[in-house]
Amino acid sequence: QKTLPATVLTIFGATGDLSLTHLLPTLIHMEEHNLLPTTFKLVCVGRRDLTTKSFFEFFTEKTTTKFSPQVIKKFANRVTYFQANLDDHQSFAGLAQVLADKQITKQKHECYNRLYYFATAPSYFASIAKILKTQGLLIGCTDHERTIRILVEKPFGNNLASAKELNKELLKFFNEKQIYRIDHYLGKETVQNLLVMRFANDLFEPIWNSKYIDHIEISVLESLGVGNRINFYNQTGALKDSMQNHVLQMLALIAMEEPKDLSPESIRNQKLKVLSSLVPFTSKTISGNVVRGQYIEYKKEAGQVTNTETYVALKTEIKTPRWKGVPIYLRSGKRLGKKVTEISVHFKKQCELFGSERKNNVLTFRIQPDESVQLQINNKIPGFGIDLHSGTLDFGYKTAFLTEIPSAYERLFLDFIQGDQRLFIRSDEIEASWKFIDSIVNNWNKKNAPLQKYVSGSTGPKLSEKLVSKNNHLWWTK
């Protein structure tokens, strides 16, 4: 393993849900597997009045992940809690002291990389950047330059205008190479595999187009509800929480042209072309092509009637020569029958010999759980006639690879520490995604788009079946 640079990581929003359920457990897991830099300090910034010790107790109480006491002890030695309130910039006055390298490491002085993780509500992102600047936290000492990077959680903005504004604000303090806009789906092994599957297997490229592909479906289905994130979710909804980022990023990877190399810029250039080629909805095209839903129990969970969608399904098209006329179905929702994320590529029938009744070939990328790639094929049923059977060629990760699959956040933390932006999103990609999403929100607002109710544990609103069936399709992911 490469030597990782000496790093001081500061998490803003350290007592929040994301930090407690994902970030801290991931860092401890990395500790357990010796994946952290030898010199690594973590500064946890939160509003709660806690000491480093009581912060750790608070975390241990909240987390469901189990670690050995030895690992926790080793990790705890790296952590300092810093209490401050983002609405009161003065409360950050002591942070520079805490981050000062000598004090933190007591080792030979060099300017350690300073990494800042913005894990707060998005409305604070621009403030944090200002605080870092005014508190002198972006500079090295008089002898050394310092590497500074920031990692910004999603949602990045709330629409195109606010995303542009946020980009503008952040670019006042950092350059694009320092900004890591996260979408944890890009860190998932199976999502990274999309690039490899497509461009390391020569049989796919010649048939990866409208001549051979009938339609594509991406489904991100969840069985859990919103839980204790109701306030956040009420301002976001399924469209902005999942479609704008996770779903569109996977679409970009499945639909993009071959990048000229594996550099972050080449890959992001190609993703951008897909995102910019999505056809925005108009007041005419939105009818019948977008379904918004809410599970019945949401009202009780939210404590009031709200207009937040917990489900969204849509049919769109990518206006590029490769994809002209190919329906793209995208779907994401909460409290559905099960948790599963899949991308399925449905091929057209080309041969007529066995009639139209035989099944289409379908290539399915099972992103999670039970990670796999499956190809639906037709075979002859053994016997004296010629009867067809539709079965699956199944490449399952669990049987093919005996090692543990690294978690998305683990991979992304390592990339952040090492300065690799390949799995992070560039400003123009974010803006192109918002442009598409805005076209939906604006038309929903204009039309007072109704919410289709659905029962928890079901497959979602009835109307979403119609969305696909009018083209004689069915949702593939069940």
Q: What are the residue numbers of the active site?
A: 246
Give me the least distance between CB of 85 and ligand BG6, in Å please.
24
User: By C-beta, is 6 or 23 nearer to ligand BG6?
Assistant: 23
Footprint of ligand BG6 on 166-195 (CB under 6 A): none
User: By C-beta, is 241 or 429 nearer to ligand BG6?
Assistant: 241
User: Which whole-number Å values give the CA distances from 213 to 73, 94, 107, 208, 361, in the listed order?
Assistant: 54, 59, 59, 7, 10
Among 214, 217, 241, 438, binds ligand BG6 (CB under 6 A): 241
What angle separates helix 427-447 from helix 160-173, to the nearest 10 degrees?
A: 150
Give me the least distance between CB of 305 and ligand BG6, in Å please.
21
Footprint of ligand BG6 on 442-471 (CB under 6 A): none
Give the whole-angstrom CA distance, residue 444 versus residue 450: 8
Give me the least distance between CB of 73 and ligand BG6, in Å please.
29
Strands 7-12 and 40-46: parallel
Give me the least distance between CB of 414 and ligand BG6, in Å please.
17
User: By C-beta, is 241 or 415 nearer to ligand BG6?
Assistant: 241
| Helix (H), strand (E) at residue 95 | helix 95-99
Residues contacting ligand BG6: total by CB under 6 A: 3
Among 101, 214, 222, 431, binds ligand BG6 (CB under 6 A): 222
> Which positions ≥6 away from 456 have C-beta within 8 Å?
225, 295, 296, 297, 335
Give me the least distance between CB of 250 and ligand BG6, in Å please.
11
User: By C-beta, is 114 or 188 nearer to ligand BG6?
Assistant: 188
User: By C-beta, is 222 or 431 nearer to ligand BG6?
Assistant: 222
By beta carbon distance, the residue nearest ligand BG6 is 241
User: By C-beta, is 222 or 342 nearer to ligand BG6?
Assistant: 222
User: By C-beta, is 242 or 364 nearer to ligand BG6?
Assistant: 242
Give me the least distance between CB of 464 and ligand BG6, in Å please.
19
Convert residues 46-85 into a mask of x (bound to ligand BG6 by CB under 6 A) and - (unbound): ----------------------------------------
- Which of 30, 78, 36 has the alpha carbon at shortest distance from 56? 78
User: Which parts of 186-265 are beta strand (E)?
Assistant: 213-221
3-state secondary structure 11-45: EECCCCHHHHHHHHHHHHHHHHCCCCCCCEEEEEE
Give the whole-angstrom CA distance, residue 160 versus residue 432: 8
Give the whole-angstrom CA distance, residue 299 versus residue 308: 10
Give me the least distance between CB of 341 and ligand BG6, in Å please.
6
Query: Is residue 129 a contact partner of residue 92, using CB atoms and an 8 Å limit?
Result: no
Give the whole-angstrom CA distance, residue 336 versus residue 464: 13
List 332's β-bridge partners, or say none.
220, 312
Give the whole-angstrom CA distance, residue 435 versus residue 444: 14
Give the whole-angstrom CA distance, residue 129 versus residue 136: 11
Four-point Cα dihedral 135, 136, 137, 138, nearest 10: 140
User: By C-beta, is 293 or 327 nearer to ligand BG6?
Assistant: 293
Q: Is 153 in the site for ligand BG6 (CB under 6 A)?
A: no
Footprint of ligand BG6 on 382-421 (CB under 6 A): none
Give me the least distance between CB of 241 and ligand BG6, in Å please.
5
Side-chain half-sphere exposure of 153, counting CA atoms within 13 A:
23
Query: Is residue 377 a contact partner of residue 406, using CB atoms and an 8 Å limit?
Result: no
List residues binding ligand BG6 (CB under 6 A).
222, 241-242
